[in-house]
Amino acid sequence: MFWDRHLPTLNAAGAALLAREFWTPYPEVPSGKIYGETARDDGLASYQALLNKPFDIAGHPETARIGAEISPYGDALGITYPAAEPQALINAANKIADAFAASDVKIRIGALLETLARLNAQSFLMGNAVMNTTGQAFPMAFQAGGPHAQDRALEAVAAAWAEMQRFPAQAVWEKPQGKQAPLRLEKHWTLIPSGLSLAIGCNTFPTWNSFPGIFASLATGNPVIIKPHPSAVLPLALAVKTLREVFVEAGLPADAVLLAVDSVDAPIADKLATHSDIKLIDYTGSNAFGDWLRGNAVQAKLFTEEAGINTITIAGTDNFLAMVDNLAFALSLYSGQMCTAPQNIYIPEGGIETDEGHKSFDDVAKGLADAIDRLVADPARAAAICGAIANPATLSRVEKARSLGRIIRDSAPLDYKNSATPLLIAVEAGDEATKHEWFGPIMFVIPAKDGDAAIQTASSLARKKGAITAALYDTNEPRIQRAAIAFARGGVNLSVNLTGNIFVNQSAAFSDFHVTGANPAGNACLTDTAFVASRFHHAMWRRPVAE
């Protein structure tokens, strides 16, 4: 049923993966003309109806209720979720693992596509859930938490389907034997899932970062235990509820998807991750826990996205105003709380050539500061761009960063709780602070000998410390080509001369490979073939062909 209904979407997604052009079945504009005239009000009402109540997930293992989410905008959600001990969740997943592995691939894929269609219809509800658990402003929460996360999930499903269809399920093997009769064998291959999968979610992008691994594992027949960040449970709980409901309708076991809720004081990610039955782990978060997983979760295949130091190199421009305006938005978006947000800005110490004439190092830095000031001058626009700070530790980090160098532009709160505009600090080349990630609205302006030296420093930093994005502004085509090679060797995606309504911290499903997996910022890529093909294996049985 679901397979036939959504086959056109699956085929289109597969074609988009190969073409790498723009395509999406999930509109990113929160418009009543697209989602229904009452969708915005209905979504808000649905979100409010969940507050201060137990969150029900039918049939889910439960020995306790846990929930302590507080919106970065100030209010406690008051929602409690079904919780169970790690071993109970493992037992529930193991109980249905064989049946789920043996299920028809088309039934699994169809159910996942139906889930995405239903989640898309709930995008306003999800937008409110993401906004009030992450601090994203509603426009971003709707897009990133809803349609863009759904895009990435569909991308993973389409890639998994393509990989599972790459080789035939059976074949006749015939080997000539000269004058004798040929050897003939019939061979049959079965797709074998790797085992139980664990998805460890993050606070800032709970669905966008987690959906690809969740949907890739489910598509390939692996039950998934989803461990949300304690501060951002609701978005993934909504996804778990929807997945389980659709699976029941499709005749699949509901316990193929389980929610593992914990608290800051009593975490369970370590217990789940090191369990011998967990064979796949998708993780987004700090290098510290990533290192811990590599050292301790040795029984599992890890797919990670971790911290990195994203850079901007400004070597020249033919449109200075458009450049600084574009960068002001990139630096302000969600107050720098994105894995793709820029941190280190390299500028030649002798300045750059622009359409407005020569600009000194200080001129360029001031131009960036002025552009940010213009962008956040209107309170409503500033709130819609900057959002709120998800973790109080980020505000403490901003305070600490003020002492690291010469302040070009100071951070300041907006007119609501837990907010901070970008902090621009000028530091010396090679300053130790610039060799580490400062998560949040903290950016360093750093002098370089010249444009080539800036490119070399930025690309080398990506190779050694990790980076997900890099930006370059330049008018020298040979140097742009040298930069493309240098950043590729650093394993980081490069954006050149972006202006207008496209920004370095945006990543497009079906076209952009998010994270290369080629530097310390992550070992997995959304979504290449390795991301999905590593989740299953081929087992064969064979016998002579009956004569």
Concatenated DSSP letters for 479-538? HHHHHHHHHHHTT-EEEES--SS--TT---TTTS-BS-SSBTTBS--BT-HHHHHTTEEE
pLDDT attached to residue 378: 96
For residues 359 and 399, membership in a common domain is answered with yes
Residue 144 belongs to a domain: yes
For residues 247 and 334, membership in a common domain is answered with no
For residues 336 and 190, membership in a common domain is answered with no
Q: Mean of the pLDDT values across residues 491-519?
A: 97
* Position 541 pLDDT exceeds 90: yes
For residues 384 and 317, membership in a common domain is answered with yes
Residue 501 belongs to a domain: no
Q: Mean of the pLDDT values across residues 5-10?
A: 98
Residue 96 belongs to a domain: yes
Tell me the residue range of the domain where 174 lies.
Answer: 1-306+524-542
pLDDT attached to residue 285: 94
Residue 403 belongs to a domain: yes
pLDDT attached to residue 395: 97
pLDDT digits (tens, 9 = 90+) for 212-227: 999 999 999 999 999 9
Q: Mean of the pLDDT values across residues 2-11?
A: 98
CA-atom Rg of the chain in angstroms? 25
For residues 399 and 433, membership in a common domain is answered with yes
Q: Any idea what the CATH number is for the domain that residue 50 is in?
A: 3.40.605.10
For residues 344 and 467, membership in a common domain is answered with yes
Residue 547 belongs to a domain: no
Residue 510 belongs to a domain: no
Amino acid making up residue 6: H
For residues 279 and 371, membership in a common domain is answered with no
d(CA 308, CA 439): 9
Residue 451 belongs to a domain: yes
* Position 512 pLDDT exceeds 90: yes
Q: Any idea what the CATH number is for the domain that residue 394 is in?
A: 3.40.309.10
For residues 263 and 365, membership in a common domain is answered with no
For residues 138 and 121, membership in a common domain is answered with yes
Reported as a pLDDT band with limits 50, 70 and 90, residue 279 is very high
d(CA 492, CA 513): 10
* Position 478 pLDDT exceeds 90: yes
Reported as a pLDDT band with limits 50, 70 and 90, residue 1 is confident
Nearest C-alpha neighbor of 337 from the set 413, 245, 439: 439
Please state the three-class secondary structure of 74-104 as a single string.
CCECCCEEEECCHHHHHHHHHHHHHHHHHCC
pLDDT digits (tens, 9 = 90+) for 139-198: 999 999 999 999 999 999 999 999 999 999 999 999 999 999 999 999 999 999 999 999
What pTM was estimated for this model as a whole?
A: 0.97
Residue 168 belongs to a domain: yes
Reported as a pLDDT band with limits 50, 70 and 90, residue 475 is very high
* Position 546 pLDDT exceeds 90: no
pLDDT digits (tens, 9 = 90+) for 379-399: 999 999 999 999 999 999 999
For residues 88 and 221, membership in a common domain is answered with yes
pLDDT digits (tens, 9 = 90+) for 44-89: 999 999 999 999 999 999 999 999 999 999 999 999 999 999 999 9
pLDDT attached to residue 547: 73
Domain total in the chain: 2
> Does residue 5 sit in helix, strand or coil?
helix
Q: Mean of the pLDDT values across residues 120-124?
A: 98
pLDDT attached to residue 402: 97
* Position 286 pLDDT exceeds 80: yes
pLDDT digits (tens, 9 = 90+) for 316-352: 999 999 999 999 999 999 999 999 999 999 999 999 9
Instruction: Quote the mean pLDDT of the chain.
Output: 97
Q: Are 478 and 317 in contact (CB under 8 A)?
A: no
Q: Mean of the pLDDT values across residues 277-281?
A: 98
Helix, strand, coil shares of the chain, percent, nearest 5, are: 45, 20, 35
For residues 460 and 412, membership in a common domain is answered with yes
* Burial degree of 248 (CB within 10 A; 0-12, 13-18, 19+): middle
For residues 489 and 393, membership in a common domain is answered with yes
CB atoms within 10 A of CB 40: 18
* Position 540 pLDDT exceeds 90: yes
